[in-house]
A = this chain, B = another copy of it.
Amino acid sequence: MERREQSEQALLAAAAEVIAERGMPRASFAEIAQRAGTSRNLPAHHFGSKDALIARVAERIQERVSAATISAIEARDQDVDTLPALEVVRTTVDLYLRRFEDPTPDERALIVMWGATFPAEAEFEGMLEADRRAYTGWAEVIRRGQDDGSIRADADPGACAVVLHGLMRGVAALLLTEADATDMTRVRATVDEWITSSLARP
């Protein structure tokens, strides 16, 4: 039991690494196994199929990234629940982008997997569901902000959630691909200004 869990963690970590480097379709079982230090087809044996592995990786990465975000928020401000919702948005986005200044394989893999959902045929339900959860989560936060007075009342929560999510993902992707060419601090500051000026109650 212990042994299996250990293998699984090693495989998932290796898979995230390889996906971050090579992209999903070129991430092979052989490479993942080699990097995890196991036999060549433990991945296939363990997960049954590539789809299953991918789904598991996506799940794990989302858990880890959101857990890390939550704990980072809590490390900053004592109580998330009493914080005005606008501050929650600003802090979360800032922490999110901050990760991409020096991303772990998990974080890079998250964006890479997002990019893999763009082709029309890509049926990659795990990832798309996570996106949807993110929207609805944001929409709810924005509504709460309208209640607590920190967010303007005339904002459309659903549409704002999509725009916010797209902004985060899009900017994060650019930070990855153009790491050298961008001044990350100023980008983060600009994103913060945009969010504030767009959402804050005037």
Please list the residues of chain A having a beta carbon within 8 angstroms of any beta carbon in chain B.
19-23, 25-26, 108, 111-112, 114-122, 128, 131-132, 135, 155-156, 158-160, 162-163, 165-174, 176-178, 181-183, 186-187, 189-191, 193-194, 197-198
Give the oligomeric copy count.
4
Q: Is the CB of A176 within 8 A of B118?
A: yes
Q: Which residues of B contact A156 (CB under 8 A)?
A: 186, 189-190
16 example contacts (A-B, Cβ-Cβ < 8 A) are as follows A21-B119, A22-B119, A23-B25, A23-B118, A23-B122, A26-B119, A111-B118, A112-B118, A115-B115, A118-B177, A131-B177, A158-B182, A162-B174, A165-B170, A170-B171, A197-B198
The dominant DSSP class at the A interface is helix
Q: Give the residue name and chain of the B residue nearest to A193 (CB).
A: B198
Q: How far is the CA of A55 from the CA of B29 in the complex (A)?
A: 27
Instruction: Indicate if the CB atoms of B166 and A128 lie closer than 8 Å.
Output: no
Least CB distance from A48 to B in Å reads: 11
A169: contacting residue among B132, B173, B190, B193, CB under 8 A: B173
Chain B residues closer than 8 Å to A158, beta-carbon distance: 182-183, 186
* A116 adjacent to B117 (CB under 8 Å): no
